[in-house]
Amino acid sequence: KTIMQTINPESFQDEELQEACRILQNGGLVAFPTETVYGLGGDALRPEASAKIYEAKGRPSDNPLIVHIADMESLEEVAQTVPEEAAKLAQHFWPGPLTMIFPKKEKVPGSTTGGLDTVAVRMPSHPVARALIRESGVYIAAPSANTSGRPSPTKAEHVQEDLDGRIDMIIDGGAVGIGLESTIVDMSTGVPTILRPGYITKEMLEEVLGQVQVDPAILSRTINPNIVAKAPGMKYRHYAPKGQMTIVEGKTEKVIGEINRLCREKMLEGHSVAVIATEETETRYQCDNVRSVGSRRTEGSIAAGLYDILREMDHIGAEYIFAESFEQDTLGKAIMNRMLKAAAYHVINV
């Protein structure tokens, strides 16, 4: 049975985390809020704990986990070498939604790193996550707390939906702030390389470091068998609702017209259809199910709302999903990266 515990991130006592700490110290699993998405935590240094994480998520065991720490001393404990550029990024963006990859120390088991000799490390800023790491004294391995392949959880209810009965505890700290997983930067190869786009954008990284590379796999807009993603997790079908999702690109009026046409067609065939719209356009669709993901005036609201909407598509039972598209600028890169995966790169241009 999974224990549910509500904690108010704005005002809580560390003592409230006692039970969660005890579970982690004993090799159990606790889902907890971070500023990006909910994580499924276990002791990163215990192979049994990471084995349980893979099992609970149904995650392929070659897909490595991120190790969450609360201070810089801990980085030295798990990373073999910390290049000066990484120290600079840590200074600017930690605690926060940035994950960096380093050659790993011996004590980090291969079961946590998916057999790689590198380790992904992140220092989250969410007060509950920070307190949990600090109070438990555990380096917390934590992938997103969803069933493998489903959208990452941005609320405790999402975690419950996927993992209830499969893990020891879920800490409900309310909806997360960012809503997309952390930016991953590989610091182990000399040239810092973005392996997964996120809230910390390429532009923000370059302000600190100068030039930063981007893994070609995340720029690709098709499933290209010749480009293998360097973050093993980025190669899987992901974030995907059960229905078939199509992204429609082009000028707003044309997009609305085409989505309405496609909806009509599929509804006439007797299918359950849904539209992923924005606050600015949601009244313009004639479809049984229209949902706004957020406002185009604040990209942050779209990032924060995306996974909840993708899950809602399953609740509606949508067989066909038509979604508006977003600019691939700054945060839009991360948003479109997730949407393209959710849509299995199904894009129509009008």
Residues that bind Mg ion (CB under 5 A): 144
Q: How far is the CB of 16 from Mg ion (least distance, A)?
A: 27
Three-class HEC string of 289-342: EEEECCCCCCHHHHHHHHHHHHHHHHHHCCCEEEEECCCCCHHHHHHHHHHHHH
Q: How far is the CB of 248 from ligand TXA (least distance, A)?
A: 27
Q: Which residues contact 305 (CB under 8 A, 6 or more apart)?
A: 179, 292, 293, 294
Asked if 234 is part of the footprint of ligand TXA (rule: CB under 6 A), the reply reads: yes
Candidate residues 7, 28, 29, 36; the one interacting with ligand TXA per rule CB under 6 A: 36
Q: How far is the CB of 199 from ligand TXA (least distance, A)?
A: 9
Nearest to 94 by CA among 182, 210, 177, 202: 182
Asked if 215 is part of the footprint of ligand TXA (rule: CB under 6 A), the reply reads: no
Contact in structure between 5 and 20 (CB atoms under 8 Å): yes
Per DSSP, the residues of 240-288 read --SSEEEEEES-HHHHHHHHHHHHHHHHHTT--EEEEE-TTTGGG--SS
Could you tell me if residue 137 is left (phi over 0), alpha (psi between -120 and 50 degrees) or otherwise beta? left
Q: How far is the CB of 36 from Mg ion (least distance, A)?
A: 10
Q: How far is the CB of 281 from ligand TXA (least distance, A)?
A: 29
Asked if 231 is part of the footprint of ligand TXA (rule: CB under 6 A), the reply reads: yes
Asked if 119 is part of the footprint of ligand TXA (rule: CB under 6 A), the reply reads: yes
Q: How far is the CB of 190 from Mg ion (least distance, A)?
A: 27
Contact in structure between 29 and 41 (CB atoms under 8 Å): yes
Q: Judged by CB, which is closer to ligand TXA: 148, or 325?
A: 148
Asked if 331 is part of the footprint of ligand TXA (rule: CB under 6 A), the reply reads: no
Candidate residues 28, 64, 173, 197; the one interacting with ligand TXA per rule CB under 6 A: 64
Question: Closest residue to ligand TXA, Cβ-based?
Answer: 233
Q: Which residues contact 261 (CB under 8 A, 6 or more apart)?
A: none
Q: Judged by CB, which is closer to ligand TXA: 66, or 277?
A: 66
* Residue 82 CB neighbour total at 10 angstroms: 17
The tokens of 302 are what? 């779209």
The tokens of 179 are what? 């809503």
Asked if 42 is part of the footprint of ligand TXA (rule: CB under 6 A), the reply reads: no
By a kind-dependent CB cut-off of 5 to 8 A, residue 184 interacts, out of ligand TXA, Mg ion, none, with: ligand TXA
Residues of this chain that interact with ligand TXA (CB under 6 A) are: 34, 36-37, 39, 63-66, 99, 101, 113, 116, 118-120, 122, 124, 142-144, 181-182, 184, 195-196, 230-234
